[in-house]
A = this chain, B = another copy of it.
Amino acid sequence: MKPTIRDVAKMAGVSISTVSRVMNTPESVIESKRVRVQQAIEQLQYQPNSFARGLIYRKSFTLGLLIPDIENMYYAGIIRGMQDACIKLGYSLMICNTDRDKNRLLAYIDAFHEKQVDGIVFASDVIFPEYYEKLMSCKIPFVLISSHSDEYEVPSVEIDDEKAAYDAVKFLIELGHRDIGMIGFNHENSISGPPRYQGFLRALHEAGLDHNAEKIRCAAHRFEHAYDAAHELFTDYPELTAVFCVADEFAMGVISYLKDRNILVPGQVSVVGFDNLRMANMFIPKLTTISQPMYEMGYRAAEKLHELVTTGSTQVLREKLEHKLIVRESSRQR
């Protein structure tokens, strides 16, 4: 049987309230007793019961994290950052993988509600009205990560997707490329898809390269889809000498396709990715890409959620973190 506060009190020869005080406001207890209590706690390996505490504080000191796809390496960095912040702030973390399934996500919100998590961070997903309503009716605070909401006042942390895409495409243009394609996210349900396409367009326009505007094909998150999308893209536009991909995984799919077609990267076609996954540096060729600060985003999201949970609001609502272009081997001067 796990020892209770009573066992500690008995062993130390004090009342249970004194034990409680030693744990919560130690300075209010006279040294002699405090020491005795601490020894008893030590000896019994006593740990307060978190259910009892939760019942009183109405807090679980647990945060929830909802991610769309645990097999996507993008989230690993976010998880690490968030977990480190949670340790610092005294929270436990509950990670749930929705597999991009709406019902599953809704079920997880229920589970979070039942477990009374103090707050939730939502990764990458669009906030559908259903989610929003549910969260509001449960009164669970939440923040968005690599996502944001235009309709609702929801705190978020992300990068500037439009600018990041712009930077990537501009880089390709500066390399001398004139025929540039893009592999984007399927637009429905994608929050970062549209702004990245806008960035592509802006860079093109600025350089008088608008004729590339329609040279985009979309893929659904995975390598294989990007492979297929690349096939469509190059079938329709064989003149392409560069392609901008909105995810490193897409870049790998494209390069894989090109490889199968015996087209050299970067010899004949330059490819730039997005995210800077750990894999970007392991792939052959190493990927030129836009680096997202996944770790910091996870960390900041947790801090922001903490702020929201404790103060009821956040200083800045929509927060943008810095991205960076990393030039490696998959791109080359035209």
Q: Residues on A close to B: CB < 8 A?
A: 45, 47-52, 54-55, 60, 62, 70-71, 73, 76-77, 79-80, 83, 87, 92-97, 99, 107, 110-111, 113-116, 137, 223, 249, 252-253, 255-256, 259, 278-279, 281-284
Q: Which residues of B contact A107 (CB under 8 A)?
A: 87
Name the residue in A50, A99, A281 with the highest tally of chain B Cβ atoms < 10 Å from its Cβ.
Answer: A50
A110 touches B47 (CB 8 A): yes
A94 touches B97 (CB 8 A): no
A249 to B282, CA, bound (A): 9
B83 touches A76 (CB 8 A): no
A92 to B96, CA, bound (A): 9
Closest to A52 in B: B55
Q: Which residues of B contact A54 (CB under 8 A)?
A: 51, 54
State the number of copies, please: 2
Q: Which residues of B contact A252 (CB under 8 A)?
A: 282
Q: Which residues of B contact A255 (CB under 8 A)?
A: 284
Closest to A226 in B: B282
B50 touches A115 (CB 8 A): yes
A47 touches B97 (CB 8 A): no
Q: Which residues of B contact A282 (CB under 8 A)?
A: 223, 249, 252-253, 256
B50 touches A114 (CB 8 A): yes
Taking a contact as CB atoms closer than 8 A, the residue among B76, B92, B94 that contacts A70 in the complex is B76
- Given A51-B116, A97-B80, A283-B283, check contact A71 B71 (CB 8 Å): no
A116 to B50, CA, bound (A): 8
Chosen A-B contacts, 12 in total, with CB atoms closer than 8 Å, are: A47-B110, A51-B51, A51-B52, A71-B76, A79-B97, A80-B99, A92-B94, A92-B115, A94-B95, A223-B282, A249-B282, A256-B282
Q: Which residues of B contact A110 (CB under 8 A)?
A: 47
Closest to A255 in B: B284
Q: Which residues of B contact A62 (CB under 8 A)?
A: 115
Q: Which residues of B contact A76 (CB under 8 A)?
A: 70-71, 76
A259 touches B279 (CB 8 A): no
Q: Contacts A50-B115, A83-B97 known; list 18 others, CB within 8 Å.
A: A47-B114, A50-B116, A51-B52, A51-B116, A52-B55, A55-B55, A62-B115, A71-B76, A87-B107, A92-B111, A93-B94, A93-B95, A93-B96, A94-B95, A249-B282, A255-B284, A256-B284, A284-B284
